[in-house]
Structures are given as structure tokens and as C-alpha cells.
Amino acid sequence: MSQMLELPVGLRRWPSERFAATRQKEGFEISLLEGCDNAYRFTATINADKVATIFRNFSRFFDEEAFFILEHYPEVALPSRPSSTLERPIPLVHYSPYLPTDEILQTIEPYMQRMIHDGFVGFGLANNRKGLELFFSEEKVMTFFTDNHLRLSDFLQRHQVPHCQKLTLPADFGHDHLSLLGFPRESLPAELHGFSDSELDSNIFCEELIDQLDMYQVEEGLSFFLTRKEQEQIAELMEAEVKDEALAEIDFGSLLLDWSDFVNECETGFEGDLWEYRQGLKIRDIIQLVIEVAPSTLADKINSIVKEPDQMFLNTLTDLRKRLDPPSEPQLQQERFWYQGMVRKQGIDLRRDLIRQGWFQR
């Protein structure tokens, strides 16, 4: 009979839940991603002592390069947080640039056990071009995204993680999230006994990782998955149609995230100048160009991805009868609403440039 799931120390079941939690076992389940005919989400519960091995072995599927994902809380005021708490802090999410996969693994190796066991840290690897992602969340559940479900099923089975029809997750039971600093040293896994308090502080070691991998913060909210085939289609279209070489070489998934980040900045207050504002609109030009030349199914999917940030951007605009003239390229069929009007919350630099260009005198 299989044993109860071995959780990292940073996720502690409530004593009242221990009997019911015996239903928690190692295993994985599969679901088809919404809006994708051949892309899958794998959700897996894995014993804590196997997480590092599975992470390293899975990284081989990325081949030469990937980007690292880190989720953490910048200032956790308490060493624990009940899972029943209604008001929860919002984690920060950082991405590294695309880097050689081996370089990422070498950099994170000294931090691996701390990330696994701290109850406030999640981490992963992804490559949008390959339609492949792995993430081990603060809830200590491993999630995979892939278009090759047979390969991944075989991979998990080879690591003695069985398929389950209905997986029981740690979040299905009452539990606390704990910082590694909330434990006596002797109760931590042996791999962590030699670390100092500052080395066990997730605020400190996450900042070290962010610095070493030159990571940048991203806004959570825009969620999408493009399969490897869709990525290849888009890359071919961009190579053929996009005249700006610098933008043509950017991963399309990154452009979608950049548009979302730009919209979020406009919503809270755009602090750049007019040139930087135009660069944000130019990103939306490139997205629109791909939409207009892509096959209809792919175009519909991209439209659905940008629908929410587009609406958010529309809501930030004022002076809609005025137009900020767009560049002549690329030639687009659709009327570009993003050049109509101006964001309400203008920083000093943007407002100064608009005054110089006579925006407010039109």
C-alpha cells in the first residue's frame, strides 16, 4: 500500500486533517488545456525528496535554453499563514531572460532545497517556443504544460509517479505555509542544517537568485499557452512580415506579456516619455500584424489572449476624439484603437512631451 504524500516542511497539515490526508498520494492527472486541441496540463503531487531529481531530469527536454520562473513574497510578516485566511498577500513573479538551460541549473542548484521546502516560494522552467513549462508552486504541486502527453506520461511513470483519475491535492485539506526560519534547525531536512538564518530567509535568497539570473518582474494576470506548432507558425509569420528586426526576433509570447505589462503600467500611471509610450503601442502593432496574417483559428486564439488587456487599455484612455498618429509601418487593415486618445494617468515626462507636441491644444 502506498504511503501518504511526503510534503516539504514549509507546508504543514493541520493535526485535525491528518487522517483525511492519508488519501494524499504521489500521482498525476491530465487535462486538455482550454482552447487547445493538442496541449495538456499535467498536475502532479510528488514526494519532497524526489522533486529536485524530477526537476533536473525534466529540464533535459528544454535542450539548449529556457527561462527560469520564481514566485515569492517580498516581505512575509509572519512565519506561517493559515490556508483558511481570506486576505492573502500577493506574490511577486520574476522571469529570467532566455539562458542556456545548464547555466540556469548550475545557478539554482545551491538554492534548490531551500526553494522546495520554503512554504512561500514557487519556481519553474519554461520555453515558450517549445510550448513547454514546469512549475512547482508554493502549494507544493508540480504542474507541467506540454503538447507531448505520451512522453510526459512515460517520464512520470519512470519516476514512479502513477496516473490517478482524481488527484487529491494538499490544498484540499487545511494546512499552514511556513518559512524555513519558523523551524528549529534540527527539524529541517538534513540538507538545510548547515545554513545560517540569513541563508534560510527567502527574502534574501530569492533576491540573490533574481540578481544572479538578471530576472525581471512580470504581472500575473495574462494567462495563455501557445503550442509548439503555433509558436513555429508565428515565428515564420514574424520573420516574413515584421520589418523591425529587433521586434521580429523577440519571442511572441514575450510580446504578449509586454503588452499586458504596458497596459498595467498605463492603468497605474505611465512614468515614461512619449517615445517609450509609442514603443508600447508599437508592440500592439506587431501583435495585430500577426493576427491579420495568421490562419483564422490561430488569429482567433491570439485575439482571445489580448481581449482583456485591450479592454483595460481602452478603459484608461481619454480624449478619444484626438489621435496620436501611428507610424506608417506596418500597414494594418484594422483601425488601431490604441492610437486613439491618451492615457489618463500621465507621468511628468509624458505630459511634458504631449505639451511640446501640442496635444492639449488640438
Q: What is the pLDDT of residues 32-56, one digit of tens each?
A: 877 666 788 999 999 999 999 999 9
Confidence tier at 167 by pLDDT (50, 70, 90): confident
C-alpha distances in Å from residue 231, one per residue of 104, 127, 282, 325:
23, 11, 20, 31
Average pLDDT, the chain: 86
Report percent pLDDT > 70 for the chain: 90
Question: Burial of 217 by CB count in 10 Å (0-12 exposed, 13-18 middle, 19+ buried)?
Answer: exposed
Cβ atoms of residues 147 and 40 within 8 Å: yes
Q: What is the pLDDT of residue 322?
A: 85
What mean pLDDT is predicted for residues 352-360? 88
Please state the length of the chain: 362
Q: Is 77 exposed, middle or buried (0-12, 13-18, 19+ CB in 10 A)?
A: exposed
- Across 205-230, average pLDDT: 84
Instruction: Examine the pLDDT at 145 and tell me if it is beyond 50.
Output: yes
1 band by pLDDT with thresholds 50, 70 and 90: very low
Q: Mean per-residue pLDDT for 146-167?
A: 90
Per-residue model confidence (pLDDT) at position 81: 53
Q: What pLDDT score does 76 carry?
A: 53
Mean pLDDT of all residues in 143-168: 90
Place 130 in a pLDDT band, splitting at 50, 70 and 90.
confident
The H-or-E segment that residue 230 falls in is: helix 228-241
pLDDT, tens only, 59-89? 999 888 999 999 998 765 444 555 555 566 7
**pLDDT for the residue numbered 112:** 97
- pLDDT for 128 equals 80
pLDDT at 115 exceeding the cut of 70: yes
